[in-house]
Structure 1
């Protein structure tokens, strides 16, 4: 059965394309207009709204809620205070990443965990014998992302809490007489917020946001614009940068947190002071230095890109549509040393950029490599340089 979100009735009226994809069985707009680049620039220059309701949402409550999550999540949830949120991930016993999500802590023993793929049964298995309750509340709430440099001004018209809300903090608020949770979170790498609202109040809240955003030219954006935004932000995506370790056909499709660029989440793992599912395997990887890959950003040499296409009598493309496939990364001797998982032309940076996985010894910023591409049915390579991520990181994001 195809499902729709609590915001669908209103957002579908604003969608003149009626092009949808399925996000875990729920309709999700690809774009709202003929040009997703217009939606992209709304986020980078003003404000846009994205329906994140298809995210799975799990309420985790009870005296052992923190104990369960600290033994399951890669990032140490014990450092998350009430009113804060953490981006995190979880792994299998071998230390390979399964899913990622955001944990919102409401009180000592009350959490809300979001996930892009279903994960309830796995957490239920870990909760056996603990004083904790797990409830799937996915259908009970809508989630609306309001993103862009004017997002704070838009939401401050409705919720004064938006003015001083810190990065990855959240607070209860009220919009259109509805109780909501306002969080300083998002998936665009820009200043942004998300509103979690009871499903029955979703349309009233959306209408209020759109009306407050009218003077700021707010507009909805779909998944096509979001893909460019998240690559600029250096944010990984399940089934693109990695695959659920439980569903992967081989270890070649599996990745550890360190290999995925999540090494910053692993405090307390190397010395064994913190344990969670997969931590023993991850500790061995860190101590023995056995990581197969390192995740890095790559930036294309624009002169080399233009030369390759012009020599083929073609106009050098600058498409904001990400490549739908992986491409090999090679060293200067044309030896394969990794692969690019996401690649796109960044309109705001005016450069071709990508998220790549390369040999750890080649991941340092400034390393010269080559990216494989096909021109006129012939494989060739273009010069690229490794760089740190995010590619786009405005001060307003955390200010």
Structure 2
């Protein structure tokens, strides 16, 4: 049975296309208008709202809650104080990434976890005899991502507790008399917030948000715009840029945190905290056995244009991310890696991507050659590696 989110009755009225995909058994809008680029620019220039309700959500409570999560997550949740959140990942015993998510700490013994895939069974298996209660509340809450440079102004008009939030802080407050949690988080790489609201109050909160955003150009955006935004931000997506290590057949589809470009999470491995996969990750770092580096790539625009014009065509500038991997080659024509995501960035006005290359090509500015098809023939275009995120506005993390 296809399900709908708590916000669907109102958002469906705004969807002029009627185009949806499935996300964890729920209808999720692909786009609301004929051009997802318009929704994309709403986020980059003003403010957009995205329905993230299909995320799985869990309360993790009890005297040993911190102990359990510190033994699961790669990032040390013990350093996350109440009122803060962490983006984190968890791994298998061999140090390969399984899933990612965001954990919100509400008190010493109370955490709220969101993830794209179900985690109830996995966390319950690891709980053992620890004094921890794990509750699946996925249906009990809706989540709205309010993203873009005007997102703070919109939410500040609805609550006095929003304007002062720092990056990855959260606060419990009220919007339209409903209890909500507002966090300065998101998946767009821009200034943004996420509002978690009990499902029974979802439409009241959404109506208040739409009214407050009317003078700021607020508009809903769907998954097609979100995919454009997240590539510019260098944010990995499960089943695209990485796969759950337990659900694939070979190591070709497995990556470690270091290989996924999340090595910054590995600080403090010399301490005494044991977590699943720690020993394997420490060996990888000590022995330098990483097979890949995940980097951004930026195509040489002059060569791109020349290839198309020489073929009698106008240079293609398509912002729709490709739905398949694109191979990368060195100057001698040997395959050296692949792009997991590729698109034309409207803001950067360059063809960009997220790619996996050998560690020796990880340095920014390293040259690779991206395979593409023109007039039904394959050819290659020059590209260079770059640090991610490729789009990184100061407003995203700036102190209010």
Say yes or no: TM over 0.5: yes
Listed one character per residue, the Cα deviations across residues 310-363 of structure 1 (whole Å, up to 9, x for unaligned) are: 111111111110011001111111111111000010001100100000000111
Tell me if the contact between 1:143 and 1:195 (Cα under 8 Å) persists in the aligned partners.
Answer: yes
Pair 1:345-2:344 in alignment: yes
List structure 1 runs of 4+ shifted beyond 2 angstroms: 271-274
In the alignment, the residues of structure 1 paired with residue 273 and residue 63 of structure 2 have an alpha-carbon distance, to the nearest angstrom, of 20
Listed one character per residue, the Cα deviations across residues 210-261 of structure 1 (whole Å, up to 9, x for unaligned) are: 0000000100000000000000001010000001111112110111100001
User: Which residue of structure 1 aligns with residue 103 of structure 2?
Assistant: 103
User: Which residue of structure 2 aligns with residue 176 of structure 1?
Assistant: 176
Instruction: Name the SS of the counterpart of 1:49 in structure 2.
Output: strand
The structural deviation recorded for 1:268 is 2.1
User: Which residue of structure 2 aligns with residue 316 of structure 1?
Assistant: 315
In the alignment, the residues of structure 2 paired with residue 249 and residue 12 of structure 1 have an alpha-carbon distance, to the nearest angstrom, of 39
In the alignment, the residues of structure 1 paired with residue 3 and residue 186 of structure 2 have an alpha-carbon distance, to the nearest angstrom, of 23
In the alignment, the residues of structure 2 paired with residue 281 and residue 321 of structure 1 have an alpha-carbon distance, to the nearest angstrom, of 38
With normalisation by structure 1, the TM-score equals: 0.99
In the alignment, the residues of structure 2 paired with residue 66 and residue 189 of structure 1 have an alpha-carbon distance, to the nearest angstrom, of 28
- Cα RMSD of the aligned pairs, angstroms, is 0.7
1:252-267 alignment, distance < 5 Å: 252-267=252-267
Instruction: Name the SS of the counterpart of 1:21 in structure 2.
Output: strand
The structural deviation recorded for 1:272 is 5.4
User: Which residue of structure 1 aligns with residue 209 of structure 2?
Assistant: 209
1:127-146 alignment, distance < 5 Å: 127-146=127-146
User: Which residue of structure 2 aligns with residue 289 of structure 1?
Assistant: 288
Instruction: Name the SS of the counterpart of 1:138 in structure 2.
Output: coil
Instruction: Name the SS of the counterpart of 1:374 in structure 2.
Output: strand
The structural deviation recorded for 1:274 is 2.8
Instruction: Name the SS of the counterpart of 1:258 in structure 2.
Output: coil
In the alignment, the residues of structure 1 paired with residue 374 and residue 324 of structure 2 have an alpha-carbon distance, to the nearest angstrom, of 15
In the alignment, the residues of structure 2 paired with residue 254 and residue 120 of structure 1 have an alpha-carbon distance, to the nearest angstrom, of 22
In the alignment, the residues of structure 2 paired with residue 154 and residue 222 of structure 1 have an alpha-carbon distance, to the nearest angstrom, of 19
In the alignment, the residues of structure 1 paired with residue 306 and residue 271 of structure 2 have an alpha-carbon distance, to the nearest angstrom, of 52
Pair 1:69-2:82 in alignment: no
Listed one character per residue, the Cα deviations across residues 104-129 of structure 1 (whole Å, up to 9, x for unaligned) are: 00000000011101111000000011
Query: How many pairs were matched up?
Result: 398
1:368-383 alignment, distance < 5 Å: 368-383=367-382
Tell me if the contact between 2:162 and 2:171 (Cα under 8 Å) persists in the aligned partners.
Answer: no
Tell me if the contact between 1:294 and 1:358 (Cα under 8 Å) persists in the aligned partners.
Answer: yes
User: Which residue of structure 1 aligns with residue 156 of structure 2?
Assistant: 156
User: Which residue of structure 1 aligns with residue 167 of structure 2?
Assistant: 167
Tell me if the contact between 1:234 and 1:297 (Cα under 8 Å) persists in the aligned partners.
Answer: yes
In the alignment, the residues of structure 2 paired with residue 318 and residue 117 of structure 1 have an alpha-carbon distance, to the nearest angstrom, of 33
Pair 1:246-2:246 in alignment: yes
In the alignment, the residues of structure 2 paired with residue 375 and residue 91 of structure 1 have an alpha-carbon distance, to the nearest angstrom, of 40
Instruction: Name the SS of the counterpart of 1:161 in structure 2.
Output: coil
Instruction: Name the SS of the counterpart of 1:20 in structure 2.
Output: strand
The structural deviation recorded for 1:96 is 0.8
Tell me if the contact between 1:95 and 1:278 (Cα under 8 Å) persists in the aligned partners.
Answer: yes
In the alignment, the residues of structure 1 paired with residue 203 and residue 218 of structure 2 have an alpha-carbon distance, to the nearest angstrom, of 16
**Gap runs ≥5 in structure 1:** none
The structural deviation recorded for 1:284 is 0.8
